[in-house]
Amino acid sequence: MNKHITLAMGNGGEENNELIHKVFYKAFKNEILEKSEDAAVIHGGELAFSTDSFTVSPLFFPGGDIGKLAICGTCNDLAMMGAKPKYLTCSVIIEEGFPTRELEKIVRSMKKELKNNGAIVVSGDTKVVPRGSVDKIFINTTGIGEIQKKGISSNSISEDDVILVSRDIGRHGAAIFAAREGIDLSTSLKSDCASLTLQVQALIDADINITALRDATRGGVSAVLNEWAKQSNICIEVQEDSIPVSQEVYGICEILGFEAVNLANEGTFVLAIKKEDEVKALEVLHRFENSSNAVKIAVVTQQYKKRVVLLSSYGTKRFLETPTGELLPRIC
């Protein structure tokens, strides 16, 4: 591993995985942590527990801000384990000179998103540091949720499952890039930043046989699929032309030279469900505006263990690797 920390180590891709496993997992190794889920399952399987930090730049972007992102991010991690968010902590590091009006706007966004999740902040911490010590404001949120459906795990995916994605991908990463670089688009591109608690609860209420859920944040859909393939010792075969990508995101990818499957999302999740529930699951998701274009994108096989294969409409195939390099730093 590199002797010094690089921006690439925070991208959610290969370098990030290496940092986590060779430094943090090595020091903190335990049975719960090694499951590598979006949230830890604790207290006899009754509770989910997760934490996340947010350093997004710019703080305000089309579709959201750092406050909305901080609540959605942690609540979504809990939802991905079949849990209903209940209690959050909020820790904030603020740079000297930061406008109080902007802080109040951020907190209002957090309050609104907490209401959407039926959760409350019960503890927190505030630090103010000298000008230049931090870039404006960083937020950490930690959450606890009550598990509504037990047994959801990215370590249990099999050939009995199909892989769905809840909506078109890459919107958050593309929107952040456009806002950061001052690109004036003639479209209404905005982040997909949204809470996913209601969709997950609807799937549970419909008795969908859910094997695994994962919100496709840093590293995008490709990072999720590669993590799943390794954790469950399977091959995931993705039909490339089935992956929903908007024209706006496609255009940004042309500028960046990136693939949409590598771009971050903040309101898009990947599902592994039993084959027999595919139609029913899609019907449930299509009831929601931000998952109205949910679709199946992949099947599970044993052709290449621990690999993801991308199948083109021309009949060719290639491995879809875990993202590497810096990609877009500070997207969440």
Question: What is the average pLDDT across 165-179?
Answer: 94
Q: Which residue in this structure is represented by tokens 């979006």?
A: 38
Which CATH number is 61's domain given? Answer: 3.30.1330.10
Residue 185 has pLDDT above 70, yes or no: no
> Could you tell me if 165 and 302 lie in one domain?
yes
Residue 276 and residue 239 share a domain? yes
Please state, in angstroms and rounded to a whole number, the distance separating the CA atoms of residues 113 and 175: 20
Domain membership of residue 325 (yes or no) is no
Q: How far, in Å, are 41, 137, 213, 234 from residue 209 at the CA level?
A: 19, 41, 11, 19
Mark whether 175 and 298 lie in a shared domain: yes
What Å distances lie between residue 247 and 88, 180, 191, 325, CA to CA? Answer: 36, 20, 14, 25
Examine the domain organization and report whether 263 and 211 are in the same domain: yes
Q: Which of the listed residues 91, 113, 147 is the one where a domain comes to its end?
A: 147
Total domain count, the chain? 2
Mean pLDDT of the chain: 93
Do 120 and 190 share a domain, yes or no?
no
Q: Per the domain annotation, does 328 fall within a domain?
A: no
Look-up: residue for tokens 């009754």?
46
pLDDT 10s digits, 199-222: 999 999 999 999 999 999 999 999
User: Could you tell me if 283 and 184 lie in one domain?
Assistant: yes
Q: Token pair for residue 119?
A: 């959760």
Task: Flag whether 62 is in a domain.
Answer: yes
What pTM, to 2 d.p., does this model score?
A: 0.94
Say whether both 126 and 167 belong to one domain: no
Domain that holds residue 140: 7-147
Residues 188, 236 within the same domain:
yes
pLDDT in tens, 32-78: 998 889 899 999 999 999 999 999 999 999 999 999 999 999 999 99
CATH of the domain at 295: 3.90.650.10
Contact 79, 143 (CB under 8 A): no
Pair 223, 116 in one domain:
no
Q: 125 phi and psi, to 5 degrees?
A: -155, 145
- Do 143 and 209 fall into the same domain? no
